Amino acid sequence: MSITDIPAYFSEIMGMNETTAQLILSIFIVFLLLLPYIILTRGNPNPIVSLMLVFIGLSIALGLGWAPFWIMIMMLVILVAGVAFVGTKGATGGG
């Protein structure tokens, strides 16, 4: 058994779709990175560092073959939309 086969085995054991198993395992990797950071900052984490850890976790999951590629694309679209919203709000004075 290789590490890339874990989502297939997980989906067989739990009786779910393989994409769902990939998403659950990807969320597990992201939470493994975020949980110590949130505990160390006592519930007041920096949003930039949190986003960096999410992207690192998703990159690890993509590299292992546990995450579908479209998840990373969706995260990048949300990040770009958020930066555009903050940038236009700052440039126009918040109106």
Q: What is the pLDDT of residue 95?
A: 56
The pLDDT tens digits of the residues spanning 55-64 come to 899 999 999 9
Tokens linked to 29: 């990797």
- Span 62-71, pLDDT tens digits: 999 888 888 8
Taking the C-alpha atoms of residue 24 and residue 67, their distance in angstroms, rounded to an integer, is 9
Please state, in angstroms and rounded to a whole number, the distance separating the CA atoms of residues 44 and 13.
37
Give 14's pLDDT tier (boundaries 50, 70, 90). Answer: very high
Show Cβ contacts of residue 9 under 8 Å, excluding neighbours closer than 6 positions: 1
Q: What is the pLDDT of residues 15-42, one digit of tens each?
A: 999 989 998 999 999 999 999 999 999 8
Query: Domains of the chain: which residue ranges?
Result: 3-68
Helices assigned H by DSSP within 1-95 = 6-14, 18-40, 47-64, 69-92
- What radius of gyration, in Å, describes the C-alpha atoms of the chain? 17
Q: What are phi and psi of 28, to 5 degrees?
A: -60, -45
| pTM of the predicted structure, to 2 decimals | 0.77
